[in-house]
């Protein structure tokens, strides 16, 4: 029983939408007794069962009055007893049939029986407060919950296992030991100290700086994996942009017509491409227009283009390259662009080679329902190339800003050490302390004691 988490929280743990099963979780001191109230099974009630056991039974509603108890769902109920649970509280997990309605009725029933609807992330917060997870692991769990693709899930689960923690800890330990050497050189007088150790410390700090730079680089990767790559479809009006969107999504998401300017606002949809999350955006055709709504749509298209990881520029191949096309093509980033030459069934006035300089050309005829496999392949190649092939897990935005601060401090330390003036050692030591403090915020370590311990363990001097 846990005094700080003295109420019992409940939430649906599986994502909304259709699925094979729905999981409803209950955590807190009353979890077992609430389960007893709403669950019926053969044999012992949940509160009399051992931890880490499961039992088959029914969730029922006995508040229906004269009509008698009503079965809500047939479920498997799992019992975890404190502290051997995710939150270290007593936890009940109910696995019911999939579907939003059923799961919501179970949750409603639990709340009627005394539970409170959990805040977002509250299970994880309890796990953190109860010392079950460190800060990095807690964040990883949240990422895992929000992960949009399998790869993002792998990354988050690596982090959960502590691979990121150990990477941070290595850098942290290196900085602490370097700082300790510097501190010692300040706290003991010249004649008590062994010869110059500064170049050796410099080397170690430089290694830390390189590791940090690499970690920062993984942020871009992490961003794509977590949020999905932003793919923006652009082009002049009525070249088939919305058709392309529908083809890639294999649904009729966007309204298509022969009228130029049909799409006036941007449309964003997600889909999974070879295990990678993609956020696909269809934009208003780029043209001069008097229509205010359409102009606004074009402006929005511009802002998406600026943030895009990949741009797909769609052209009507039967017409040829106009002046506006030329201008638009020249703005493309060749390594991150695909040029779709559509409507080749109507004649081909543009050859793939003519546009190859601006991006990867794909010839097709979207209207005939030709599967745009070439586009998918080109897309996944470009997205993959944007992800450095690193073994380690990537970092989140909070980590990134802390790492940027750490890097600033480490760089300052290095430049002070390079000053060739002994007074630089003091300022370098201070800069490294700042760096260690920033880095400690990532993993929740406190430097002060560790630094002193490290200082004291390495010197053999008199008074």
Partner 1 sequence: MKYGVMVIGAGHAGCEAALAAARMGVKTALLAVDRTAIARMSCNPSIGGIAKSHIVHEIDALGGEMAVNTDYTGIQFRTLNTKKGPAVQATRVQCDKAFYPTRMQAVVDQTPNLDVIETLATDIWVENGKLRGVRDSNGETLAAETVVITAGTFLRGKIHIGDESFEGGRIGEKAAYDLSTSLESLGFRLRRLKTGTPPRIHRDSIDYECMELQPGLDPPPMFSWRAKRELFHVEQSGDDLFHVEQSDIRPWRPGSDQIPCYLTHTTPETHAIIEANLTRSAMYGGQIDATGVRYCPSIEDKIVRFRDKSSHHIFIEPEGRINDLVYPNGISNSFPKEVQDEFVRTIPGLSRAELVNYAYAIEYDFSDPTQLDHSLESKLVENLYFAGQVNGTTGYEEAAGQGLIAGINAAIKVIRGTPLILSRHESYIGVLVDDLVIKGTDEPYRMFTSRAEHRLMLRQDNARYRMRDHAARIGIVDPDMVSETGRYAEQVESEIERLNRVRRGDRTLAQILRRPDMSYGELDGRDETLPQEVARQVEITLKYDGYIQRDLERIEKARGMEEKAIPEWVDYNAIKSLRTESRQKLNEIQPRTIGQAARISGINPSDIAILSVVIKRGRA
Give the interface with partner 1 as residue ranges (CB under 8 A): 1-5, 88, 128-131, 135, 183, 185-192, 419, 421-423, 425-427, 429-430, 433, 444, 446, 448-449, 451-452, 455-457, 459-463
Report residue 123 as tokens. Answer: 């299970």
Whether residue 240 contacts residue 342, with contact meaning beta carbons closer than 8 Å, is answered with: yes
Residue that has been written with the tokens 């300790």 in this structure = 180
CB of 189 to partner 1, least distance (A): 4
* 41/426 with CB nearer partner 1: 426
Distance of CA 78 to the CA centre of its chain: 29
CB of 15 to partner 1, least distance (A): 28
Q: How many residues does the chain have?
A: 463
CB of 93 to partner 1, least distance (A): 21
Spatial distance between the Cα atoms of 463 and 460, rounded to a whole number of angstroms: 10
CB of 76 to partner 1, least distance (A): 29
* 83/99 with CB nearer partner 1: 83
Spatial distance between the Cα atoms of 215 and 309, rounded to a whole number of angstroms: 20
Spatial distance between the Cα atoms of 382 and 387, rounded to a whole number of angstroms: 9
CB of 419 to partner 1, least distance (A): 7
Helix (H) / strand (E) element for 301: namely: helix 292-307
* 48/448 with CB nearer partner 1: 448
3-state secondary structure of 360: strand
Spatial distance between the Cα atoms of 169 and 416, rounded to a whole number of angstroms: 24
3-state secondary structure of 45: coil
Query: Which alpha helices (DSSP H) does 113-227 contain, by range?
Result: 122-129, 135-146, 150-160, 163-187, 198-227
* 382/410 with CB nearer partner 1: 410
* 76/427 with CB nearer partner 1: 427
* 5/283 with CB nearer partner 1: 5
Residue that has been written with the tokens 């283009």 in this structure = 305
CB of 179 to partner 1, least distance (A): 9
Residue that has been written with the tokens 């150990």 in this structure = 166
CB of 191 to partner 1, least distance (A): 6
* 189/306 with CB nearer partner 1: 189
């Amino acid at each position: 029983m846990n005094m700080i988490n003295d109420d019992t929280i409940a939430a649906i743990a599986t994502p909304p939408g259709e699925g094979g099963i729905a999981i409803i979780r209950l955590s807190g001191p009353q979890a077992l007794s609430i389960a007893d109230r709403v669950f019926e099974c053969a044999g012992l009630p949940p509160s009399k069962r051992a931890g880490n056991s499961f039992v088959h039974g029914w969730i029922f509603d006995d508040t229906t009055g004269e009509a008698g108890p009503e079965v809500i769902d047939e479920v498997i109920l799992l019992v975890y007893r404190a502290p051997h649970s995710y939150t270290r509280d007593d936890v009940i997990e109910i696995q019911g049939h999939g579907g939003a309605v059923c799961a919501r009725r179970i949750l409603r029933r639990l709340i009627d029986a005394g539970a409170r609807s959990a805040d977002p992330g509250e299970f994880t917060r309890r796990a953190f407060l109860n010392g079950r997870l460190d800060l990095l692991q807690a964040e990883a769990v949240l990422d895992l919950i929000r992960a949009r693709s399998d790869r993002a899930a792998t990354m988050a689960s690596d982090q959960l296992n502590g691979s990121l923690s150990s990477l941070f800890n290595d850098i942290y330990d290196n900085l602490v030991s370097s700082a300790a050497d510097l501190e010692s050189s300040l706290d003991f007088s010249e004649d008590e100290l062994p010869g110059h150790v500064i170049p050796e410390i410099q080397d170690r700090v430089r290694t830390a700086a390189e590791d940090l730079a690499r970690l920062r680089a993984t942020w871009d990767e992490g961003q794509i994996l977590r949020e999905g790559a932003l793919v923006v479809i652009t082009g002049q009006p009525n070249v088939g942009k919305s058709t392309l969107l529908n083809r890639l999504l294999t649904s009729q998401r966007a309204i298509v017509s022969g009228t130029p300017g049909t799409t006036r606002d941007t449309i964003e949809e997600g889909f999974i491409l070879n295990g990678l999350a993609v956020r696909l955006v269809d934009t208003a055709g780029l043209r001069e227009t008097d229509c205010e709504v359409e102009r606004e749509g074009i402006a929005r298209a511009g802002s998406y283009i600026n943030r895009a990881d990949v741009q797909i520029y769609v052209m009507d191949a039967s017409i040829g390259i106009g002046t506006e096309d030329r201008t638009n093509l020249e703005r493309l980033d060749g390594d991150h662009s695909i040029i779709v030459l559509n409507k080749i069934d109507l004649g081909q006035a543009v050859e793939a080679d003519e546009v190859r300089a601006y991006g990867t050309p794909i010839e097709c005829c979207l209207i005939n329902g030709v599967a745009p496999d070439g586009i998918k392949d080109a897309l996944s190649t470009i997205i993959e190339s944007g992800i450095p092939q690193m073994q380690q897990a990537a970092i989140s935005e909070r980590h990134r800003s802390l790492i940027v601060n750490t890097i600033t401090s480490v760089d300052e330390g290095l430049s002070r050490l390079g000053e060739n003036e002994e007074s630089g050692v003091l300022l370098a030591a201070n800069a490294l302390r700042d760096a260690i403090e920033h880095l400690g915020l990532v993993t929740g370590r406190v430097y002060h004691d560790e630094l002193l311990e490290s200082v004291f363990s390495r010197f053999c001097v008199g008074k």
